[in-house]
Amino acid sequence: MRIASLSHAVTCKICGRQAPFFDEVDFSKAVMDEPQVEVGVPVAYYRCEDCHFLFTDAFDAWQADDFAREIYNDDYARVDPDFAVSRPLGCAAVLANLLAPRRGSIRLMDYGGGRGVFARRMHELGFETASYDPFFKGDLDPRQGEKFELINCREVIEHTPDPHGFVDDLLRFLDRDGAVFLSTATQPPDIGELGLRWKYAGPRNGHISLFSQESLRLLWEEHGMQIGFFDANNQLAWRGKPACFSLLTGVPAAPGNRSASTSDRL
């Protein structure tokens, strides 16, 4: 297993400022209540002094086959039992309810959609839905050059070692007037005391990019997007005036040029 060595500080992947060493944890740590058997591979995380992005560079040199072998392998279901079925079905139920008035008139995409469970369930509920995942190719992949008004991206962005590259890739699928329905846990107020005891920090799950609200806002705004926060775990990023905005937020007015900030609540 190739793991980057510990440094005193590295460059923040979001804003380019200094990110000192924050804490380290064994690679075995997963997003579970039960402690895992340690494998003796320490993974260092760093936290930006400016935007407070918390991340590791341990896997920056990995290729897709490295992630598939070491993280997204046959044992992944043990450390994330909700990944395969219950989470995508739950997300589909929520989104289908919100988008009910647009059934039959909106085509959306699930980015990081795994084996396509979410997309297939949305089809059953009457919504044309494509699925894209670099690790799982299937019959629901979007057509070449296809754009979508809405992209579902739930519990995905924390898995990327390259946040700016991730957003660039996702936005190639988004309409000029489009929205991204996001979900990732943002750091709690006591992250300094918790360190990597924070449950969401788990390299075995592939949770290698852990966002503050400041860093998440900065990331999306640098790519021409506005962002608002439903709560500590759910967000919406958008550009232009997507028709689905009011259904997702309950705000009847078009978003226009509304300025998003870390205090924005949707």
pLDDT of residue 263: 46
Residues 6+ apart with CB under 8 A from 153: 110, 111, 112, 170, 180, 181, 182, 183
DSSP state of 40: S
Between 76 and 3, whose confidence is greater? 76
pTM: 0.93
Residue among 214, 188, 183, 212 nearest 199 (CA) = 188
Q: How buried is 95 (Cβ within 10 angstroms: 0-12 exposed, 13-18 middle, 19+ buried)?
A: buried
pLDDT digit string (tens) for 97-137? 999 999 999 999 999 998 899 999 999 999 999 999 988 88
Instruction: State yes or no: pLDDT of 257 exceeds 60.
Output: no
Phi, psi angle pair for 192, to nearest 5°: -60, -35
pLDDT digit string (tens) for 17-45? 999 999 999 999 999 988 899 999 999 99
**CATH ID of 9-249, from 1.20.1070, 3.40.50, 3.10.150, 3.30.160:** 3.40.50
pLDDT digit string (tens) for 58-68? 999 999 999 99
Between the alpha carbon of residue 192 and those of residues 9, 73, 187, 198, 230, the distances in Å are 17, 32, 10, 10, 23
Q: pLDDT over 70 for what percent of the chain?
A: 95
pLDDT digit string (tens) for 79-103? 999 988 999 999 999 999 999 999 9
Residues 6+ apart with CB under 8 A from 18: 9, 11, 12, 48, 49
Residues 6+ apart with CB under 8 A from 239: 174, 176, 177, 178, 224, 225, 226
What residue ranges in 115-165 does DSSP mark as E strands? 128-132, 148-154
pLDDT digit string (tens) for 38-77? 999 999 999 999 999 999 999 999 999 999 999 999 999 9
d(CA 68, CA 191): 30
d(CA 257, CA 76): 42
Map tokens 């980057």 to a residue.
4
Instruction: State yes or no: pLDDT of 259 exceeds 50.
Output: no
